[in-house]
Amino acid sequence: AQSVTQLDSQVPVFEEAPVELRCNYSSSVSVYLFWYVQYPNQGLQLLLKYLSGSTLVKGINGFEAEFNKSQTSFHLRKPSVHISDTAEYFCAVSDRGYQKVTFGTGTKLQVIP
Amino acid sequence: EPEVTQTPSHQVTQMGQEVILRCVPISNHLYFYWYRQILGQKVEFLVSFYNNEISEKSEIFDDQFSVERPDGSNFTLKIRSTKLEDSAMYFCASSGRDREANEKLFFGSGTQLSVL
């Protein structure tokens, strides 16, 4: 069975500061990993995904994430955040060959002016 | 970018009543999903649907739930007799013609269901 742990439920950060949102996963097979973002009153939008290949994945809005198999982590980073990055961020995992995507509990990123 | 559309955005119902949540997936997609998010909790998988049948479902998706693709464009989730604990945001998603269906899900903006 697959699971995702996002240890930080809320992360406040000042504008233009760097941020890292942590994600750890567990799965018994090869996985796909995702970060989704949910802006207020909107649905989930794919930020980036790791399917295979390079462990450093770049996504939209200047975000990137690094897949670390030995640490079973997929942390999300941005070197300089903007007010518009205020949203909830969900890490997710899916076993290859299966349709089900399992989400973490989410991390609320609050960017402080 | 194409969108998944969900209606209504908010639905209020009395306990024991039937509700139907509606979704219009992206037109050339083949895989359809329902997820839900109870306030303050994680987004939970309910069911996936492919080739006019359920392909996976979670423990949450019991006999009170059903899904249907009644025509070429809509995908519905029916809850036969709603309970208070069914109150949640319900998200529809679809994915396309990728070799592996779970490579990218497109989500709708959700239907907030409130059971009174």
Q: How far apart (Å, rounded) are the C-alpha atoms in residues A92 and A109?
A: 17
- Position A97 scores a pLDDT of 65
3 state DSSP class of B85 = helix
Residue B85: its pLDDT value, please? 95
Q: What is the pLDDT of residues A31-54, one digit of tens each?
A: 889 999 998 877 788 899 888 888
Which has more pLDDT, A99 or B37? B37
Q: Are A103 and B109 in contact (CB < 8 Å)?
A: no
The pLDDT assigned to A98 comes to 66
The pLDDT score that the predictor gives to residue A53 is: 85
Residue type, A85: D
**What's the confidence (pLDDT) of residue A54?**
87
Q: Do B43 and A96 touch (CB under 8 A)?
A: no
Nearest CA in chain A to B39: A105
Mean pLDDT of A95-108: 83
**B45 contact residues in A (CB cutoff 8 A):** 100-103
pLDDT > 80? residue B100: no
Rounded average pLDDT over B50-68: 93
What single letter denotes the amino acid at residue A28? S
- Return the residue of B nearest to A39 by Cα: B109
Q: Which amino acid is at A51?
A: L
Separation between Cα atoms, residue A33 and residue A100, nearest integer Å: 12
Arithmetic mean of pLDDT over chain A: 91
Distances (CA, A) of A106 to A103, B27, B55: 8, 29, 26
Is the predicted pLDDT of residue B99 greater than 60, yes or no? no
A77-89 pLDDT per residue, tens? 999 999 999 999 9
Using the predicted structure, report yes or no on whether residue A74 has a pLDDT greater than 90. yes
Give percent of chain B with pLDDT exceeding 90: 67
Percent of chain B at pLDDT exceeding 70: 93
Contact A96, A104 (CB under 8 A): no
What mean pLDDT is reported for chain B?
90
3-state SS string over chain B?
A: CCCCEEECCEEEECCCCCEEEEEECCCCCCEEEEEEECCCCCEEEEEEEECCEEEEECCCCCCCEEEECCCCCCEEEEECCCCHHHCEEEEEEEECCCCCHHHCCEECCCEEEEEC
Mean pLDDT for A47-70 is 92
Q: Cα(A85)–Cα(A59) distance, rounded to whole angstroms?
A: 13
Residue of B nearest to A94 (CA): B102
Which chain B residues are closer than 8 Å to A106 by Cβ?
42-43
Q: What's the pLDDT at B5?
A: 93
**Residue of B42, B55, B108 with shortest CB distance to A43:** B108
pLDDT at B97: 66
Token code pair at residue B67? 């899904």
Tally of CB atoms within 10 A around B71:
7
- A101 with B103: Cβ contact below 8 A: no
- Which residues in chain B are contacts of A41 at CB distance < 8 A? 109
Tokens of B5: 């559309």
Contact list in A for residue B93 (CB cut-off 8 A) is 44
For residues A60-84, average pLDDT? 95
* Residue B91 identity (one-letter amino acid): F
Interchain contact, A43 vs B107, CB within 8 Å: yes
Q: Using one digit for the tens of pLDDT, what is the confidence trace for B5-31?
A: 999 999 999 999 999 999 999 988 889
Instruction: Inspect the interface and report whether the beta carbons of B43 and A44 lie closer than 8 Å.
Output: yes
- CB B91 to CB A51 under 8 A? no
